[in-house]
Amino acid sequence: MNWSENLFAGCAIDGYRLGIIENKSRMPARSEAGASRGLTVLQPGNTTEAEPFRFSLFSTAPQSAAYAGKVYAAHLAEVARWSEEAGCSGILIYSDNRLIDPWIATQIVLTNTARLCPLVAVQPAYMHPYSVARMVTSLAYLYGRRIYLNMIAGGFRNDLTALCDETPHDQRYARISEYTSIIQQLLTGKTPVTFAGDFYRVKNLSLQPLLPSDLMPGVFVSGSSPAGMKTAAALNAVAVEYPKPGEEYPPLEPRCNMGIRIGIIAAETDEQAWQLAQQRFPADRKGQIRHALAMKLSDSQWHKQLSAMEQDTSGQRSVYWLWPFKNYNTFCPYLVGGYETVSNEISKYMRAGFTRYILDIPLAERDLHSCQTAFRMAAASLASADANTLSRTIPLTALAANPPVLPGAAKAIATTRGRE
């Protein structure tokens, strides 16, 4: 059996390998020529493992408004442990006027886990950028852990109105840009920061204690609008959007630093998954009314885009499911089906270049493990498909002399840990 029949079909969640290697003793190696171009190139007669597909999963913390105080603290700690054990890179922590301070929730997460990175929602209306930078470096000093920042420009309209924040939509992203820039400059700690912008001014401002460079926070920017995407690019941040169905994203379309917010209900069969989905999200007339009202008040483009989609409003079975969103149960689309069905849909997002996935709030530990299974299957399927394409279309004698570009997935998906 030659090497082309024993290619690696594997994946990793933020560096934790979950794939399967067959006939490991004949595993082809990554060529130096390919490595210089950032590609995974398979060659015969070598015993080194090929580079796996890589992606990052983030869970989402439960919201404090749904629990009593001590009960919430215990449940948050429990969900954080579930997330870490399932291989998640981090956990999103919400922030709005109804919830406890996200930095207090962050401490609960850090205290009850060893590696999980809090992804803290940061709204400029709530605190000065210096306070955010000081919180990041203080937690790094105490826990030796990395924090991610999820920069949010908007929020519930009533929340912003109560804070007398009438800043127009696109200007809120301009504010986020200044706000985040000050935080990043303070955390690099090279020199005192002087900044004069339209929204913020600081002069000779410095930060103590200094933040170790390897704990510099990853930055996410939530927003699907042109203003949101432009801001994320300017900050070299991960742009997070609420996705359309997978088939609407062309393969090979260039994407860099892109993530999506998605819920997943997966099981052994489609029937089992749909039974669970319908039990979890029954029809809710009051929720539908609240959703309609929220759409009228919101200036969020993603909210309007998803609300305008007519798929699944009657509860019909499609892997891409908007029923929970339109019943005001959640703010993201869901993928529902058997593991094979859901992994096929996930693979479309992977093929399009999305590498960060923020999952909805888990109601049970199995939710996170079923997500892990679906993502592992999707990445392994793509790796196998690309490997089979190479073995069918490229003569072995030509591989070493003329390293090929894989048909999209490896180029778009393979990332290195720590570049968030």
Query: For residue 90, is pLDDT > 80?
Result: yes
Domain ranges across the chain: 3-51+380-413
Q: What is the pLDDT of residue 405?
A: 38
Q: How far is CA 118 from CA 110, 239, 345, 393, 400, in A?
A: 8, 17, 27, 44, 43
pLDDT at 418: 37
236-274 pLDDT, tens per residue? 999 999 899 999 988 766 566 799 999 999 999 999 999
- pLDDT higher than 70, residue 28: no
Residue 315 has pLDDT above 60, yes or no: no
pLDDT at 318: 87
Q: Kindly report which listed range (149-158, 171-180, 281-290, 411-420) carries the lowest average pLDDT score.
A: 411-420
Q: What is the pLDDT of residues 124-178, one digit of tens each?
A: 999 999 999 999 999 999 999 999 999 998 766 777 778 788 888 889 999 999 9
Reported as a single tens digit per residue, the pLDDT across 37-80 is 232 222 233 333 444 567 899 999 999 999 998 999 999 999 99
17 band by pLDDT with thresholds 50, 70 and 90? very low
pLDDT category of residue 323 using cuts at 50, 70 and 90: confident
Percent of the chain with pLDDT over 70: 69
The residue type found at 314 is: S
Tens of pLDDT along 349-364? 998 889 999 999 999 9
Better-scored residue on pLDDT, 391 or 283: 283
When pLDDT is cut at 50, 70 and 90, the band that residue 110 belongs to is very high
Instruction: Select the more confidently predicted residue: 7 or 136.
Output: 136
Does pLDDT of 184 surpass 80? yes
Confidence category of residue 234, pLDDT binned at 50, 70, 90:
very high
Task: Give pLDDT, residue 167.
Answer: 83
> Is residue 186 within 8 Å of 244, Cβ to Cβ?
no
pLDDT of residue 300: 55
Is the model's pLDDT at 11 over the cut of 70?
no
Band (pLDDT 50/70/90 cuts) for residue 36 is very low
293 token code pair: 């009202």
Instruction: Decide if 323 contacts 315 (C-beta within 8 A).
Output: yes
Q: Is the pLDDT assigned to residue 195 strictly greater than 80?
A: yes
| Structural contact between residues 53 and 355, judged by C-beta atoms closer than 8 angstroms | no
